[in-house]
Copies of this chain bind each other. A is one copy, B any other.
Amino acid sequence: MILDGRKISKKITEEVKSKVESLDKKPGLALIYIGKDESSKVYSKMIVKKAKSVGFNIETVIEETMDQESILDKIESFNKSDLIHGIIVQFPLPKDIDEEKVRNAIDYRKDVDSAGVINTGNLYLGNDAFIPCTPKAMTRILEEYNLDNEGSKVVIVGRSNVVGKPLYECLNRKNMTVTICHSRTKNLREHTLDADIVCTAVGKRNIISSDDVSRNCVVIDAGINVEADGMYGDVDYVSLENHVSWITPVPGGVGPVTTAILLENTLEAYYKNEA
């Protein structure tokens, strides 16, 4: 059965919208995208549209190129602005930019995608912190379908700083037992076959097919692979859709929930810093 990300996204978005309507001041989100990738530009514009639709103030910096100093200046002005509560920078940035510097330039109180060291540290220490949007979205999907059971055996494939590792922390907080697999894992199938839940975030197609997972398995696919003929996740969806018990499609799974979580996190930043 399909885990309908669009439905969950709509629910979250409507909740955010109704909360925003009761506020005197608008929550504000700043978005920075520097680059020439068409699909990233499309994604940025989609965030802008969604943020406006819930009544957010939105400011954008969308450019094909920009030098590091100018990016840092933009962030500094958003840090200082009373109208902005959340700042998201789309990574990767062009190669000549020091990403680490950019991440940590964002005021941690406005770092709604948890890109910087303060939120990352607090996340792993179990303290209050913004949770990165993609792993928070994956966790939310499990929650919405009552699949977030304590003691579940989870295999995460992919160990990136933005998805795999923080997803461990999210699912650990649910008392699940998590194994993190990656490109150097020997015999990945041995791990996935035994899992109640398999989460993927690799950026490579067809890494999991029906031979790799049990029929009871829940598959949450955060992969985005843009090809000439469409957008694909990390797993072999065609082989899995009638095999596993639950699966997220791509598109229409983790992606739309992630965008909605960005709005939710920005509203959280608003409450924390306007209160």
Q: Return the CB mask of A111-129 against B: 1 if under 8 Å, else 0.
A: 0000011111111111100
A185 to B118 alpha-carbon distance, docked (Å): 29
Other-chain residue from B116, B165, B178 in contact with A179 (beta carbon distance below 8 A) = B178
A137 to B107 alpha-carbon distance, docked (Å): 34
The yes or no answer to A273 lying at the interface (CB within 8 A) is: no
Q: Return the CB mask of A188-229 against B: 1 if under 8 Å, else 0.
A: 000100000000000000000000000000000000000000
The yes or no answer to A182 lying at the interface (CB within 8 A) is: yes
Chain A contacts with B in 77-100, Cβ cutoff 8 A:
100
Q: Give the most central of A117, A126, A184: most B CB within 10 Å.
A: A117
Number of copies of this chain in the oligomer? 2
CB-CB under 8 A from A147, the residues of chain B are none
- Cβ–Cβ contact B186 & A180, under 8 A: no
- Cβ–Cβ contact A177 & B168, under 8 A: no
- Cβ–Cβ contact A184 & B179, under 8 A: no
The yes or no answer to A12 lying at the interface (CB within 8 A) is: no
Chain A contacts with B in 115-157, Cβ cutoff 8 A:
116-127, 150-151, 153
The yes or no answer to A181 lying at the interface (CB within 8 A) is: yes
- Cβ–Cβ contact B121 & A100, under 8 A: no
- Cβ–Cβ contact A161 & B126, under 8 A: yes
**Taking A120-B121, A125-B161 as contacts, is the C-beta distance between A182 and B191 under 8 angstroms?**
no
The yes or no answer to A41 lying at the interface (CB within 8 A) is: no
- Cβ–Cβ contact A178 & B177, under 8 A: no
**Taking A100-B127, A181-B177 as contacts, is the C-beta distance between A186 and B151 under 8 angstroms?**
yes
The yes or no answer to A239 lying at the interface (CB within 8 A) is: no
The chain B residue with its CB closest to the CB of A122 is B117
- Cβ–Cβ contact A177 & B180, under 8 A: yes
The chain B residue with its CB closest to the CB of A160 is B126
Q: How far is the CB of A186 from chain B (nearest CB, A)?
A: 4
CB-CB under 8 A from A123, the residues of chain B are 124
A271 to B254 alpha-carbon distance, docked (Å): 45
A168 to B179 alpha-carbon distance, docked (Å): 10
Q: 5 additional contacts, CB 8 Å, given A126-B161, A168-B180?
A: A121-B121, A121-B124, A151-B186, A172-B180, A172-B182
